[in-house]
Structures are given as C-alpha cells and as structure tokens.
Structure 1
Amino acid sequence: MTTILITGASSGLGAEMARQFAALGHDLALCARRTERLEELAVQITTAHPDRRVAVKALDVNDHDAVFRVFDELAEELGGLDRVVVNAGLGKGQPLGTGRFDANKETAETNFIGALAQTEAAAAIFRKQGRGHLVMVSSISALRGMPKNITTYAATKAAVAHLAEGFRADVHGTPIKVTVLYPGYIVSEMSGTSARTPLMTSTEQGVRAMVEAIEKEKRSARVPAWPWGPLGFVIKHVPVGVLRRMS
C-alpha cells in the first residue's frame, strides 16, 4: 500500500487524482487552502473505500515554513510518504508589459517558488527515508515560450519541469524516482472559460491518463497521450506566427 501526498487537492485535478488513487488502494495525505472542501472529499473517499486512510491539512504553498511543517507532520502521522504530487498552482496571468505585473508575479511565486518549497520538503523526506517518488505537474505549455495570457504561466511550468529533472539527476541510481507530467487541456477550475477550448478532455479522463503515467513511474509523459503526444511536437516546432494564432 502506497501513501500519496497531493497538494492543491481541494478541487480539479488534485481532487480527482485523490479519488482515483483511493480506488487503486492508496492512502492519502491531502493539502489545500480550503479545508472544508478537503473534509468533504475525505468523507466521500472513505465512504466509498472504508479501508483507506485519508489525512487532511490546510496548506497555502506560499507559506513556505508551513510547507515543510505540514509535509513532516503528514509523514509522521502516516508512517512516511511514498509519493508526493506537486500539483498546487495558479493559472492567472496577462501579456507582458500590459500593466499586470501583479498577476504575473502571483503566478510566478505560487507556481515556482511554492513548487520549490514543496520539492525541497518532499526531497528531504525522501532522502531521509531512502526512497520515494516525486511527481511534478507541469503543463504542455512548458514545451515552449507561449504568448498572451499564458506567457508567465508557461515559463513557471518549464521551470518546475527542470527543477524536477535536476533532482532526478541528483538521485539517479537510488530508490528515489521522479515523474514530470505535461498535461494538455483538461477541464478543471483553473481552465475556467477555456473549458470550451477544442481538444479539451474531461477531468476524469485526463486525470486517468495522469494517474496511469504516475503508477508506471514514467520519467515524463504528455497526457493524455492522444492528442498531446503528437501535438507536443507541433507546439515545439511550429513557426511563431502560427503559435500565436493557436494560443
């Protein structure tokens, strides 16, 4: 039985990952700012799977001291952490130079500095245990610098992918594993009005592809594989003018 910590677990991809991992027989440590929604999710999961252990704690990933404290408390409460999914993040942003540095700064701080704190906390636990599995939720937008409202978001997701890959190099040859996920368009609270975007995948289907890649401990995965495997190649190589029209 595996114990999995998921941040940003109160809604969207995080909540659905919790449901699907519980169905596969895993115990859960769930963190988010909205504890009432975490409590509701925990009840839902334990009602469907009475033998699952589900621990919940309030966590704002921008409170970096709290990240280390909460991760350590959950590891102690559950007898260790086998897997940590760095999932919490923001999707807000505006084109550069349009007077919205505040929105871009908030996204950068949450998606990168917050993810750095989570990765440091998880890595410390894994090094102490001598084992573990770090899962970094990046984005298909990380494959290339992106225009318009997602410029900063895409940059943060590229940064966290490199962060995880660097840690993988550090622990190469040990029982510590690293997976980087590059989700395509999956319906979530973050997707908002863009949920009507062509090629959008339902939350359940998109997360199923994420969970399958995590369970196989893949080094990296563009999910769902169709159409984001081939489309990832297109995004990386299409001329910039075409990329701008696609975004």
Structure 2
Amino acid sequence: MTIRRNILITGASSGLGKGMAIEFAKQGCNLALCARRFENLESLRNELLEINANIQVFIRSLDVNDHDAVFDVFNDFKEDMGQVDRVIVNAGMGKGASIGTGYFHANKQTAITNFVSALAQCEAAMAIFRAQNSGHLVTISSISAVRGFRRAMTVYAATKAGLTSMTEGIRMDVMHTPINVSCIHPGFIRSEINEKVEKVPFIVDTDVGCRALVKAINKEKANAYVPSWPWALLHWVMRIAPASSIRKMS
C-alpha cells in the first residue's frame, strides 16, 4: 500500500475534519489544514503537536466558497510540504429546509458549498496530482447520497449524490494511473452539522466515526460506507426500500 505522509484536509477546524486530523497525527502524517476559523486551527495545531511532536502541521484560513482562494491555498500548501500525497475534500454544511417553504437562500448556500465548492477543491487537488503524477483524492460524501431525503436533508442529500457521481467520473478519468480516487460515505456520525438532531438511527460518536473514516481512507477503495456496520449492508437496503421507509429516516 502506498504511504501517504502529506495530507491536506479542508473543513479541518471541527467535526469530522478535526477528528480525522487527530487520527492521522497519531499515524505520523504531516498535515495541511484549512478552514474558516483560523483560531480553531491554531488550537488544533497545538493539540496535534502534543499528540506527535515529530510531524509538521501547516494551517491556513480558507472559505471554500472563495473559489480562487481554494487554488491559492492548495498551491501554497504544496509549496510548504514539497508534495501533497492526499487531499480530503471534507468541508461542507447542512443548512436547508423543505423546497418551497421560503428558505431558498439556505438551500442555495448548501448547494454551492457542498457541490460547486467541492468541485473547486477537486480541481485544485487534481491539478497538483496530475503535475506530480501521483496522489490520492478523497471526497467525503454521505450515506444520504444513495436516496432522496426530505425537509432539511433534501438539498444536502442531492449535493452528496452529485459529489459521489463527480468523484466516480474523476476516478474514471485517471484510471490506470498512479492517482487514486476514493469516495467515502459516512453514516450518521455525531458532529457540528447534526448536533441539534436528537433521533438519528445508528449514530456513533465523533471519535468512533473518525477512526472508521481514516481506516477506510487508508484502504483507498473506490467507495466505502462507514462505519462498516451497519452501513456496508444498509446502503444496499436503502437503495430498494420504499420511499415511505426512507421518509422516516429524516
């Protein structure tokens, strides 16, 4: 298995991004971390260096909706590290409401952040990987990508389905090259994006979920559903379940 020492993670100041950074630090990886909240990144850098003083941690402020800045920050991290071995497109949001109920602005914001801005991150990452002729692109999709969902999940699920499809297209484009492309579909993992949701089936704590994410990422499979129990099986069930059953999940 290819060793990926230099890892770039977006949306790294909290939630799954922070949790993955902690797990990779334990494994001795150098990290390039970006997010909007720079003060949180500074605290995280100190935490990571306490976990492993032998790694390098680079941090930069980035709003992924500033698409020009995405390219600048990724290229600056490339200069910092010499080579970027893996990019994890993790930044995202979950604002929204049922379509037609007066929350177009929130739905639009989620659509742009989770898809258009993910495209910008993939473009920036793949430009680096193509120039290096090596690398591992990882997109963080969602179990919700497999079906439509209602209420606040409607646009979120649609963006994740789009991200899954886009990732597959990127993978086809570089098939049989030294560049690997993976799409990770987390089940319900406790994080800032769902902290106000009370009843969620099969939800796991952030640290448990992030260990499963990193384990799946390191395997570099085309697609992974994590934690593997129950999602490696349940995603197949969800694809054929009646809409009335899916409705109860959101």
What range describes the TM-score normalised by the shorter chain of this pair?
Answer: over 0.9
Runs of 4+ in structure 1 off by over 6 angstroms are: none
Provide the residue aligned with 1:112 in structure 2: 115
What is the CA distance between 1:198 and its match in structure 2?
Answer: 3.1
Provide the residue aligned with 1:155 in structure 2: 158
Equivalent runs, 1:14-53 vs 2, <5 Å: 14-53=17-56
Amino acid corresponding to residue 222 of structure 1 in structure 2: Y
1:210 to 210, 213, 224: 213
1:186 to 184, 189, 196: 189
Q: TM-score, normalised by structure 1?
A: 0.98
Amino acid corresponding to residue 39 of structure 1 in structure 2: E
Amino acid corresponding to residue 122 of structure 1 in structure 2: A
Q: Distance in 2 between matches of 1:82 and 1:229?
A: 27
Provide the residue aligned with 2:243 in structure 1: 240
What is the CA distance between 1:239 and its match in structure 2?
Answer: 0.7
Q: Distance in 1 between matches of 2:199 and 2:30?
A: 34
Q: Say yes or no: does 1:74 pair with 2:77.
A: yes
Q: Distance in 1 between matches of 2:52 and 2:249?
A: 43
Amino acid corresponding to residue 64 of structure 1 in structure 2: H
Provide the residue aligned with 1:12 in structure 2: 15
Contact 1:187 1:195 in 2 (8 A): no
Q: Distance in 2 between matches of 1:29 and 1:95?
A: 36
Q: Distance in 2 between matches of 1:67 and 1:211?
A: 23
Q: Distance in 1 between matches of 2:248 and 2:141?
A: 23
Q: Distance in 2 between matches of 1:225 and 1:195?
A: 22
Provide the residue aligned with 1:94 in structure 2: 97
Question: Is the deviation greater in 4-13 or in 222-231?
Answer: 222-231
What is the CA distance between 1:246 and its match in structure 2?
Answer: 2.6
What is the CA distance between 1:193 and its match in structure 2?
Answer: 1.6
Contact 2:201 2:249 in 1 (8 A): no
Contact 1:112 1:157 in 2 (8 A): yes
Q: Say yes or no: does 1:85 pair with 2:105.
A: no
What is the CA distance between 1:245 and its match in structure 2?
Answer: 2.1
Q: Deviations over 1:175-210 (max 9, x none)?
A: 000110000000101112225423111111111111
Question: Is the deviation greater in 229-238 or in 183-192?
Answer: 229-238
Q: Distance in 1 between matches of 2:131 and 2:167?
A: 18
Unaligned runs of 5+ in 1: none
Contact 2:115 2:160 in 1 (8 A): yes
Q: Distance in 1 between matches of 2:50 and 2:152?
A: 40
Partner secondary structure for residue 166 of structure 2: helix
Q: Distance in 2 between matches of 1:209 and 1:13?
A: 11
Contact 2:139 2:163 in 1 (8 A): yes
2:148 to 145, 163, 188: 145
Amino acid corresponding to residue 214 of structure 2 in structure 1: V
What is the aligned-residue RMSD (CA, Å)? 1.0
Partner secondary structure for residue 125 of structure 1: helix
Q: Distance in 1 between matches of 2:248 and 2:94?
A: 20
Contact 1:38 1:56 in 2 (8 A): yes
Identity of aligned residues (%): 53
